[in-house]
A and B are shown apart, each in its own frame.
Chain A
Amino acid sequence: MKQFLIRRLLLAILILFGAAFVIYSIIRLMPADYIDVATASIKELTPEMKDNLRKLYGLDTGIIEGFFKWFSKAITGDLGESFIYKKAVATVIGDNIWYSFFLNLPSTILSTLIAVPMGIIAAVKQYSKTDYVLTAIAVIGISMPTFFFASLLQRFLCMELGIFPFSGMVDARADYQGFMKFLDLVYHFTLPILMFTILSIGGTMRFVRTNMLEVLNADYIRTARAKGLSEHKVIYTHAFRNTLIPLITSLAGVLPSLFSGAMITEQIFSIQGVGFVSLKAIQSGDVPLMMGFSIFSAALMLIGFLLADIAYAMADPRVRLS
């Protein structure tokens, strides 16, 4: 186990290095850099002054040189300073991460709670009307682009019916304090959370259904039925418990992504999470911030893979990590 972890961590550093290089090269290929964007309105600026500014922001280097400059700092934990926020990148991400987290956590819990029973029912009643309806709902959820669904919800629930606030995190006109502020925040987050929940039910449900079908075809289920167990017991005690292994594995893999932002949703609902900030960074050419969140999300992915492997070994006694 210990050896496995050490090897995986070393490998992760190697992969992160490769990923960082790819990301850095692509970012630096962007045609309009931060200086161009930030000084677009200042006409008096001479090219020399711009070059000086570039030097100041560390944008005067080539891709390779710039990357190693960034990397040698990053390895000590210094991700640099964001151009637009004028704060350390780690601070910017740390400040905004919780909004993304509180958007993702409730919807992940809710959608799992809804999707698992749906998947079981669809699998047990395979090819019935119920199965078709549930599968169709699931696939519609998968097929719905976030931006369109968000627009629909905003148009009908916010504009037409006025149930939810259109966007934003707090009511700007009311100056709530303490608990009221929290409630206001919850109120503003309800619609995005609802949307996320609906959109992510489909994937989990299909996953549960497929695994459940595989288990239901197994011989030990026939045995369980043959020895006269009630159908309820067969399905929930014998079949479902065996689908828990892939389910737990995939949930463990999802865990880190709770911290990664959702660009389009956060943009549409103006929620200042990681996704919102990173979209802003891309639009303004903020290289350190872009690098920061890219590496951050790459690291989250790697942690996710690792957690999935560990969870797999813990849930399934037949698997040994080596």
Chain B
Amino acid sequence: MEDKKKMNLNKSEEKLNNAKVNAADTNDDEEEIGANVQIVTPGQLVLKRFLRNKLAIVGMVMILVLVLFCFVGPYLSPYGEFEMFYLDRHDPSIEYSSNETQSIDMSTLKINSKAPVSAKHLLGTDKDGSDVLTRLMYGGRISLIVGVGVTFLEILIGVTLGGIAGYYGGWVDTIVMRIVDIFLCLPQFPLMLIMSSIMINSNIPQKYQIYFLMLILGVLGWTYSCRVVRGQILMFREQEFMIAAESTGIRPSRRIFKHLVPNVIPQIIVIASMGIGGIIIYESSLSFLGLGLPFPYASWGNMVNAVNDKTIMRNNMNIWLPPGICIVLATLGFNFIGDGLRDAFDPKMKR
């Protein structure tokens, strides 16, 4: 970090000198100098390197499109997440929505399940007669919110514990690292299954179960960021700026979180962006096994779950293929961005 700053300083100084020479050649207008001088901050350098990476740009676009699709899309969709569709038994061309069936005799209707792709339902309807495209949008919200939320939680726990362990060392470090060891050897996926089955059968209101799910995934996954942060801080705390910080007499918590942790932010950003993809896969795998957010909530994982019905697997690919592709795209996007960020932050990378 320090080196990079210095390099940039040198560079901008050079440019400044060049600009001065140029300016002296033509005229002494100071505004001209200002126009020629270009100061590049380390952040801008990283951004420049990041934007040069084609795969990272592709990833950014993919995530942006998915975010728009999931968070703006539902407002453009004429249907709701839980809305079901019925057909008139005698005239199947008439379709009713579950919002308007109160006034109609239900015995004359049948559920419009597994409807093919049509202008009305762009991706058809699923087994329960809901619009696949609309559920795809709502399902994506779950995946993206869980992905980002869990990562945030993991980083929060990891940075706090890693920072404390790395700064204090000694027995504090030993205890934290033993806890990390224990969590590292826990079988993650089985425990996720067990804990979400506890969640589903508990009396937590369904609306709040998503937060519980995030808690489960976050608590099981913070060890990696903790180890990285600790390792980095062990290194940084021996450097001169920490002696300076100590001599000003500020509290240890400020020393850790104001002076040490900011130095680790590049690593944290990379871990976070690479981690989101993995969490989306975990969440969708849980949902696939029926242990994610329970029905009637849509999530990409439980939409792919429809393949357990072999006739759907064979004949109704419009039901399970799109959510699967969405999972792949979301994970892919975050992985591409993570890769790009890692390369952009790495000062050793030269192009």
Chain A residues in the interface with B (C-beta under 8 A): 11, 14-16, 18-19, 22-23, 26-27, 29-32, 127, 132, 135-136, 139-140, 142-148, 151-152, 154-155, 159, 214, 217, 260, 263-264, 267, 278-279, 282, 290, 293-294, 297-299, 301-302, 305
Contact = CB atoms under 8 A, between A and B. Distances in A.
Contacts of B185: 15-16, 19, 298-299, 301-302
B313 A132 contact: no
Nearest to B321: A152
B177 to A, nearest CB: 10
B194 A15 contact: no
B71 interface: no
12 contacts: A15-B182, A18-B182, A19-B182, A26-B198, A30-B198, A31-B198, A142-B335, A145-B288, A145-B331, A147-B285, A154-B313, A282-B197
Nearest to A294: B187
B304 A135 contact: no
Contacts of B285: 145-147, 264
A294 B190 contact: yes
B60 interface: no
A175 to B, nearest CB: 25
Given A19-B186, A217-B348, A264-B285, A151 B198 contact: no
Given A135-B55, A217-B348, A27 B194 contact: yes
Given A18-B182, A155-B314, A282-B194, A143 B332 contact: yes
A135 B195 contact: no
A301 B186 CA distance: 9
Contact of A159 (B190, B314, B350): B314
Ranked 7 nearest A-B pairs via Cβ: A143-B331, A148-B324, A31-B201, A301-B185, A18-B182, A143-B332, A298-B185
B226 to A, nearest CB: 16
Nearest to B351: A127
B131 interface: no
Contacts of A299: 185
B190, B288, B336, B351 — which one has the most chain A CB atoms within 10 A of its CB?
B190
A152 B348 CA distance: 40
B190 A145 contact: no
Given A298-B186, A298-B187, A151 B320 contact: yes
A214 B350 CA distance: 11
A304 to B, nearest CB: 9
Interface in B288-328: 288-289, 301, 304, 307, 313-314, 317, 320, 324, 327-328
Interface in B165-190: 178-179, 181-182, 184-187, 189-190
A202 to B, nearest CB: 9
A81 B259 CA distance: 54
Contacts of B324: 145, 148, 151-152
